C-alpha cells in the first residue's frame, strides 16, 4: 500500500516505491524531485531561497545550494548513484506585483535558476519543469512512475 509523504516548507524528504512525495503551497518556492526509477527512490525538496550565501546558521533546507547538497547525500547513502539521478521541478511563481513597477526581487525566477544551477553542478539532468506564472502549485511525485502531478488554482492540473 502506498503512503504519501508530506514535505513542509524549507524541508525535504526521501521515499521509496510505492510511496508518493507531496508538497503544497509552492508560490515563489521551488519543489524539486530528484529520483532514480531503477532503484525506486526519490527525494523532494521545498526550497524557499536561492542561496545560503555561506550562512550556515538556521535551516539549511531553506536554500537551493545547501538543501540539494544534503538531499543528494541522503540519496547516495541509500545506494543511489549520481550518474542515474534525474530531476523535475515546479513552482517559482511571481506572486506579488505592483502596478507600474517592475516585479520586486523576482524571487521565484531566482529560485528556479538556482535549482537549475545546482542540478547542473552535480550533473543531474532536469527532465521537466513547470515554473513561473503568477499562481501557486501543489505537487505530488509518484516514485514508481516518475510522474510529477501539478495542481493549480484556476489553472487546472498537469503531469510532467
Kindly list the catalytic residues.
Answer: 29
3-state secondary structure of 89: strand
How deeply is 47 buried, as exposed, middle or buried, from its count of CB atoms within 10 A (0-12, 13-18, 19+)?
Answer: buried
Contacts for 85 with CB less than 8 Å, ≥ 6 apart: 34, 35, 36, 72, 75, 122, 124
d(CA 36, CA 65): 20
Residues ≥6 apart with Cβ < 8 Å to 89: 30, 31, 32, 33, 112, 115, 126, 129, 130, 131
Amino acid at each position: 500500500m502506498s503512503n504519501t509523504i508530506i514535505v513542509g516548507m524549507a524541508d525535504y524528504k526521501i521515499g521509496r516505491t510505492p510511496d508518493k512525495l507531496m508538497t503544497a503551497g509552492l508560490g515563489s518556492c521551488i519543489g524539486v524531485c530528484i529520483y532514480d526509477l531503477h532503484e525506486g527512490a526519490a527525494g523532494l525538496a521545498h526550497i524557499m531561497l536561492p542561496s545560503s550565501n555561506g550562512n550556515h546558521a538556521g535551516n539549511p533546507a531553506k536554500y537551493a545550494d545547501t538543501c540539494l547538497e544534503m538531499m543528494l547525500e541522503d540519496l547516495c547513502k541509500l545506494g543511489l548513484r549520481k550518474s542515474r539521478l534525474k530531476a523535475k521541478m515546479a513552482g517559482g511563481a511571481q506572486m506579488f506585483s505592483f502596478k507600474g513597477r517592475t516585479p520586486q526581487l523576482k524571487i521565484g525566477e531566482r529560485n528556479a535558476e538556482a535549482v537549475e544551477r545546482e542540478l547542473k553542478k552535480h550533473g543531474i539532468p532536469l527532465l521537466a519543469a513547470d515554473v513561473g506564472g503568477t499562481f501557486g502549485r501543489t505537487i505530488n511525485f509518484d516514485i514508481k512512475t516518475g510522474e510529477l502531478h501539478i495542481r493549480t488554482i484556476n489553472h487546472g492540473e498537469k503531469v510532467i
